[in-house]
Amino acid sequence: MFNHIRGTAINLEFEAEAEAVTGMDADAWMDARKPAFEAITADGGLPLFERLSAAGGYDFDMDALFEFGLQRLLDGMETLIAGTR
């Protein structure tokens, strides 16, 4: 759990630094690279990546990503603890 929290904090720091340097938030950065991502999926060699990309863009909501990951960790710990009784 500590690494999940620490990893999220590090990513928030990197994201803030990148935004300060480039003047672009994560969504603007991804929009600027859309042609490169489309080129990656053009040959059909990455069908899952293509489906995920086409399914509504990208979500850089770090709060939502943190909450999702934390819930998975807590669910796993609950199962682990329940199995030891």
Distance from C-alpha of 58 to C-alpha of 72, rounded to nearest angstrom? 21
pLDDT tens by residue, the chain, 85 residues:
899 999 999 989 998 999 999 999 888 888 888 888 888 888 888 888 788 777 665 667 888 889 999 999 999 999 989 887 5
Show the domains of the chain with their CATH numbers: 2-82 (1.10.357.10)
pLDDT of residue 48: 85
Distance from C-alpha of 15 to C-alpha of 9, rounded to nearest angstrom? 10
pLDDT of residue 5: 92
Query: What's the predicted TM-score (pTM) here?
Result: 0.61
Distance from C-alpha of 11 to C-alpha of 22, rounded to nearest angstrom? 16
Distance from C-alpha of 37 to C-alpha of 47, rounded to nearest angstrom? 13
